[in-house]
Homo-oligomer: A and B are copies of this chain.
C-alpha cells in the first residue's frame, strides 16, 4: 500500500532541442511532475532508416530525467510506422470499409496484421526492450497508443486471409458457419471459408452475424498484436506493462489487459460531463479486479486539433478531476501534453507550457494539483478504495453489437450512462464491471443493454444468485444470440428461466401507448420493450399496459436460491420526471434486497468516495463536481483529516474537496 501517486505528463523530447528540454525539466520539477511518458510516436527517431536502430537519444533522456527524479513510462512506437516503411511497402496500408487505402501522414495508417509491418514493429520493440527496458527510472511500458482510436476494422487483403483462417478455427467447417449465421437467407450460403466476404459495400445491409463476427475477429487480432509486443518486452524488461485504452474504441479490453500488468486510459471530458470521467475510474479500476489504474492522458485545460477545439476548463475543474481520480484509485494522473506541439494537427491542444516556453492556460491549476497530491499522498498511500457492493456491467461486446444493430440510433454508451448516473445519484458506491469479473465481490449486479448473454456468463449469474447475490437483468438484455441472431426457444432464450418470466412480445415501444406502472409512478418505455408474464413464484413489481397486447409486467423479481433476480422489461423514458423515478425506485428495491450499505446520499453536486486503511479505518473523500457548491449532511460523526474538527455537515466551494475520517 506504499506505492506513491505518480503525477506525470506525455512528453516528446524528440521534437525539441536541448534548451527546451532543460527548461522542461526545470518546469516539471516546479509543478511537481515526477514521471513522463515518452516514445509512442518516435519510431522514425529511433529507426530513421530500415534496420538502423539508434536509441541513444532516448537512453540519454531517460537518464537525464532520472537524474532529476523523474521516472519514465516507455511506449512502443507502433501507431506511427515511419515513412520508409509505408513508402517502400504501400501494401501495409490500412484499408477502410470503402476500400480506401490510407496514406502516410496521420496515425494508425498501417494494418497491424500485416506480416511485414509486424516484423518491423517487433524488431524495434525488441531493441527498445533490450537497450532501454532496464534503465533506472523506467517504471512501466505502454504498448502503442489508443489502439483503434482513429480506425475500425481493416479490410485489406492480409486481413481477408486472416479472417478466413479465423473463421475456420472458430467454425471448423463451413456448414457450421452457414447454420450459425443462417446464411440460407438471401442466398448468402458459402461453400468455403474463402467465400466469406469482408463487410465492405453492398446495396443494402450486411447480415449482422457477419459484421459482428468481423468486429470480434478484429478485436482479437489487435489483442494478439498487443500481447506479442508484451511477450517481447518481458524477455528483456521487468517493468510492468499497460496500454492507454479508451472507453469506446473497438476493443475487447478484458482480454487485452489480461496478460498486461495494469490498466490505464485516456479521457478528455469537458466540464459539465464530469461523470463521464468518474464512470471510467469505476470501470478501469475494476477491470483487472484490482485497484491499480492510471489516468494516462487528460488535458490540463482543453483538447483540440486543427479542426476543432472545445472550450477550456474553468478555474478549479482540474482539481476536481485530479482529486476524484486519485480518490477513486488512480495511481497515476498524467497530462497530455507537456509542451504545446509546434507542428502537426494537434497544435491547438491545451498544454502545460506553450511552444514558446511560457506557462499554458492550465499551468496554475497543474501546479496546484501537484501540491494537493503531495498533501494527499500519505492518506492515499495508506488507504485503498473501499470495495463497492454493486457492480454494473459495461460490455465491450454489447457496444459492438449495437454498432452492428444500432436500431434507432441507440447509443450503448449513452444508455449505459443513464443507469450509471442513477447509481451515483442514489449515492451508491459502484464498480463498472466486465463479463469476466469476480462476482463474489458484489451483493448486487446490474446487467443492462447486453444483447447477447454468453452461456457461461449466464451460468455465472445463476451461481451468483444461488449464493445470495441480487441480479438485475435488463433493460434490453438477452434478445440476441452470441452469433447475432434471434433465439428460437424464447424471446430471451435461456435467460427467461433465470428471470422467471415469459416474454410475450418484443418490439419498439417508442410512440406507442405503452405505460409502465409501478413504484407509485407511471412512465413510458423507450427503445425495444420485452413485456413479460411472470412465471411460478415470480412477483410482479410493475405492470405494463398498452392497447397493443394483453396486460403484462414491466418489472418483477424472483427468489433464486439465496438471492433474487430482478427483471426490467424496458428502459423508461427520461423525458419528464417519472421515468427517472421509476428507475430509481426499481433499483432501490433491489439495493434494499441486497442490503447495500456502502452509500453516501448527497446531492447532484457532490461525489463521495470511501477508502479504508489496512486496519479498516474509513476515510471519505467529498468533492464538488458541478462548479457551484456542495452542502452535505452526514448521518454519523466524522473528523476533518486536516484540522481534526468534528463534522456533521460539509460545505464545499466550486470544485473543492475535503477528506473526512470516520469516528
Binding site for B on A (CB under 8 A): 12, 14-15, 41-45, 48-49, 77, 80-84, 87, 94, 96, 98-100, 102-109, 150-151, 181-191, 194-195, 197-210, 301-302, 304-312, 314-315, 340-345, 347-348, 350, 354-358, 360-361, 364, 404-409, 485-491, 504-508, 510-513, 547-549
Residues of B within 8 A of A408 (CB): 308-309
The 5 tightest CB contacts between A and B, nearest first, are: A182-B343, A106-B202, A205-B345, A311-B511, A106-B204
Is there contact, CB below 8 Å, between B309 and A407? Answer: yes
Other-chain residue from B151, B191, B343 in contact with A207 (beta carbon distance below 8 A)? B343
A contact patch SS: loop
Among B104, B203, B207, B406, contact of A197 (Cβ-Cβ < 8 Å): B104
Q: How many identical chains are in the complex?
A: 3
Which B residues touch A485, using CB under 8 A? 342-343, 347
Contact A83 B187 (CB under 8 A): yes
| From B83, B357, B549, contact of A195 by CB (8 A) | B83
A314 and B205: CB pair below 8 A? no
Chain B residues in 8 Å Cβ range of A356: 486-491
**Within 8 Å CB of A511, what residues of B?**
311
- Is A189's CB under 8 angstroms from B83's CB? yes
- Tell whether, in the assembled complex, residue B186 and residue A106 are in contact, meaning their CB atoms are under 8 Å apart: yes
Chain B residue nearest to A101 in the complex (CB): B201
Q: How far is the CA of A172 from the CA of B606 in the complex (A)?
A: 60
Cβ-defined contact, B208 with A345, below 8 A: yes
On chain B, the residues within 8 Å of A15 by CB distance are 182, 184-185
Bound-state Cα–Cα, A90 to B15, Å = 44
Which residue in B81, B182, B341, B355 is a CB contact (below 8 Å) of A344? Answer: B182
Name which residue of chain B comes closest to A182, CB basis: B343
The verdict on A510 contacting B311 (CB below 8 Å), with A203-B108, A343-B209, A361-B548 known, is yes
Q: In the docked arrangement, what's the CA distance between A183 and B45, Å?
A: 10
Q: Write out the residue numbers on chain B whose beta carbons fall within 8 Å of the beta carbon of A312.
A: 507-508, 512, 548
A659-B620 Cα distance, complex, nearest whole Å: 75
User: Are B548 and A306 in contact (CB-based, < 8 A)?
Assistant: no
Across the interface, do A302 and B184 meet the contact criterion of CB distance under 8 Å?
no
CB of A186 within 8 A of CB of B407, answer no
Bound together, the chains give a CA A344 to CA B347 distance in angstroms of: 45
Would you call B547 and A315 a contact (CB within 8 A)? Answer: yes
Determine whether the beta carbon of A206 is less than 8 Å from that of B105: yes
Contact of A343 among B45, B185, B309, B355 (CB under 8 A): B185
